[in-house]
Amino acid sequence: MVGGINSLLSSYYTQANSQVNSTSQIYDYKAAQQQTKQWVEEYKANNTQVQALKKDSADFLQQYTGSMNTLATAANKLAGGGVDKLLTGRDGQVTDETIKATVDAAQKMVDAHNSSVKLLNDNADRGAGVVNQLARMVGDPAASAGMAMVGMKMNDDGTLALDIEKMTAALKSETPGDTDLFADIIGEVADSVQKDARAGLNTSAGSLIGNDVAKMQSIRDNDPIRSFAQSMRGGGAYAFNNQAAVGILMNLTA
């Protein structure tokens, strides 16, 4: 009689997705506990990865926003007629002091641009938004020939270079119209950089860290406890309860 019950239970246990063979197998509580322990450890490890990635992504977004704001502020000093205001000063005269102020402002803009390009290069794998912003910023902000006249150029790596002495000499030119021309070139560069910074600030966070978000989701999807919980939906929980119940009955009849 007991043998017949065991045979029936063994068959039912197998149908309930257990690992019981066609003869019989006592429900292994220790193995189940060990499996659960392993799942918990994997869950903790996965959760640690997700939390670290969240923090890293948040830190990047903060750095990115700060970098774009710094770039926009630096460009604003020279864009939209700002060069003329700096160069002519309060009394409308170009002096060594106003020239220095203009060149200093140009250097700050160049430094901010280069810092932003480095940040984008270092984080290009985070999302399409970073790649797009980098592509936007590494293009010439003005005609290279004109930039060369005021001591500026775009390097092959997308960074800007400024020859302070050459820009200073250009702005000191006594040839009629030259100063206005050079000021316009600097202003054109600043307008372009300002536009890039604003576009960067309008880029969504989701676009900037889209790959990071995908990584976090992938880690969650591979979580054994999450997978187990999903399997319990529908008939899974019923099957699992049957497995446990049948296992207990098999123990009692062994």
pLDDT, greater one: 37 or 251: 37
C-alpha pair distances (Å), 119 with each of 15, 134, 161, 201:
57, 9, 17, 14
Q: For residue 96, count other CB atoms closer than 10 A to its CB.
A: 10
Residue 101 forms part of a structural domain:
yes
- Number of domain units in the chain: 2
Mean pLDDT of the chain: 83
* Same domain (yes/no): 33, 80: no
What mean pLDDT do residues 14-24 have? 46
Q: What is the pLDDT of residues 146-197, one digit of tens each?
A: 999 999 999 999 999 999 999 999 999 988 789 999 999 999 999 999 999 9
C-alpha span between 54 and 32 (Å, rounded): 32
Residue 224 forms part of a structural domain:
no
**pLDDT beyond 90 at 27:** no
Q: What is the pLDDT of residues 60-98, one digit of tens each?
A: 999 999 999 999 999 999 999 999 999 998 888 999 999
What tokens were used for 166?
């050459």
* Same domain (yes/no): 80, 182: yes
Residue 220 forms part of a structural domain:
no
> How many helical (H) and strand (E) elements, i.e. helices and strands, does the chain have?
12, 2
* Same domain (yes/no): 11, 137: no
pLDDT, greater one: 226 or 191: 191
pTM over the 0.95 mark = no
For residue 225, the model assigns a pLDDT of 61
C-alpha span between 154 and 176 (Å, rounded): 28
* Same domain (yes/no): 171, 191: yes
* Same domain (yes/no): 191, 150: yes
Lowest mean pLDDT among 90-94, 198-202, 239-243: 239-243
For residue 133, the model assigns a pLDDT of 98
* Same domain (yes/no): 141, 115: yes
For residue 223, the model assigns a pLDDT of 67
Residue 208 forms part of a structural domain:
yes
C-alpha span between 228 and 29 (Å, rounded): 17
C-alpha span between 152 and 109 (Å, rounded): 12
In angstroms, the first-to-last Cα distance of the chain is 12
pLDDT category of residue 2 using cuts at 50, 70 and 90: very low
* Same domain (yes/no): 59, 37: no
Lowest mean pLDDT among 87-96, 100-109, 227-236: 227-236
**At CA 90, angle to CA 71 and CA 171, rounded to 5?**
65
pLDDT, greater one: 126 or 232: 126
pLDDT category of residue 58 using cuts at 50, 70 and 90: very high
* Same domain (yes/no): 134, 9: no
Residue 209 forms part of a structural domain:
yes
Strands 152-154 and 160-162: antiparallel
C-alpha pair distances (Å), 115 with each of 70, 108, 126, 157:
10, 10, 18, 12
Residue 177 forms part of a structural domain:
yes
* Same domain (yes/no): 38, 66: no
- Kindly report the three-state secondary structure assignment for every residue of 128-176: HHHHHHHHHHCCCCCCHHHHHHCCEEECCCCCEEECHHHHHHHHCCCCC
The position carrying tokens 């239970």 is: 9
Instruction: Look up the domain containing 131 and give its range.
Output: 53-215
